[in-house]
Amino acid sequence: MDVRVKVWRHLLPRVDLFYAVKTNNDSRILARCHKNATGFDAASRAEMESVLKLGVNPEKIIFANPVKNTNDIMAAKKYGIKKMTFDCVEELQKIKSIFPKAECVLRIATDASDTTALHNLSEKFGAPMSQVEDILQLAKKIEMRIKGIAFHTGSGGVTQKAYNAQIQKARKIFDRALEIGLPEMDFLDIGGGFTMVHKDQEKNFNFVAPIISSLLDQYFPDPKVQIIGEPGRYVAESVQYMASMIMGQRTLDGGVKHYYLNNGVYQGYCTQLLQEEQFLSPLDKAIEKREKTLTCFWGQTCDSIDYVFKNKMCPIYNTGEWVFSWDHGAYNQVMACAFNGFKVGNVFYYNK
């Protein structure tokens, strides 16, 4: 992950990296990010506290949850974490009542037509442009500091089209805020969703980052504007691998093999529930030379949705053999649980 941070800083030299803790909150990952002098995107009191105990300066944390409970806003106030996102007049009024000195960052929505993300986060969060004027006017009326603008194009939605649209929207809001007499904004958060392993090269970080950098120079040339990104997947996706044992199998008509693993969507393949494609390889490379047949891999619970994938051509395995997943570090561990009484797998660390 040290290399990922270096690549980020090379391709997006103006964009400060704030690691999204939600992606993988393993203490060693957080400590490594801190060692690399990154900032952090925290979505809850627990996430804020997990990085503060590492000695992170509160200025290096953004409370990036547009709708927050009262206790978490009070915690941010206590810890001196001023930067926090919001996306509606109701949330701005709530922040005002609890933490009037907060530095609010208005999160704007990404239009569905501008993103290719599998799940458009703007269905849940983000102010549409039609509501921005009312939000700015309220901020002026109640004297709340709108520090800047945030957006997120969605995981897998990091494309030239999406960023071109969002950065231009942000520029318009910066300008409009000045027109109505609000203090000059000096902060832009371009979100996350980046990856280095997408099969579509035009969505890979190496391709899209220079385009984003150029757009930022075009629309936000002022060096006084701090620009951050909230990569989670980009940082964590390749730092973890997962090994699972085949604990049973059966063969159905036509020779279709069904294998049952000691892990499933509840214990480590959770992103299958998000419709992300899963990959398994034999831990013993010699198995790849065996005859292949149509295959389904299932988890160990009694839930019929607990499968890793169905109907792919795979080599024939024996019970007791192991399969391996790579690029497994984003979300799978933090979403795992002990459903059906099956514990989450152990985590082991090694240095390459």
Q: How far apart are CA 307 and CA 298, in angstroms?
A: 4
Q: How far apart are CA 86 and CA 97, in angstroms?
A: 14
Q: What is the DSSP letter of 126?
A: -
User: Can you tell me whether residue 107 is helix, strand or coil?
Assistant: strand
Which residue in the block uniquely carries the two structure tokens 């929207």? 169
User: Can you tell me whether residue 324 is helix, strand or coil?
Assistant: strand
The CA-CA-CA angle for residues 147, 148, 150, to 5°, reads 135
Q: How far apart are CA 179 and CA 173, in angstroms?
A: 10
**Cβ–Cβ < 8 Å for 18, 48:** no
Considering the candidates 104, 270, 302, 337, report the single residue annotated as catalytic.
Answer: 302
Strand 242-251 to 322-325 pairing: antiparallel
**Cβ–Cβ < 8 Å for 87, 139:** no
Q: How far apart are CA 57 and CA 64, in angstroms?
A: 16
Main-chain phi, psi angles of 176, to 5 degrees: -65, -40
User: Can you tell me whether residue 168 is helix, strand or coil?
Assistant: helix
State yes or no: is 296 an active-site residue.
Answer: no
Residue 171 Cα to chain centre, angstroms: 24
Q: How far apart are CA 21 and CA 284, in angstroms?
A: 33
Q: How far apart are CA 15 and CA 10, in angstroms?
A: 10
Q: How far apart are CA 92 and CA 85, in angstroms?
A: 9
What positions carry a catalytic annotation? 302
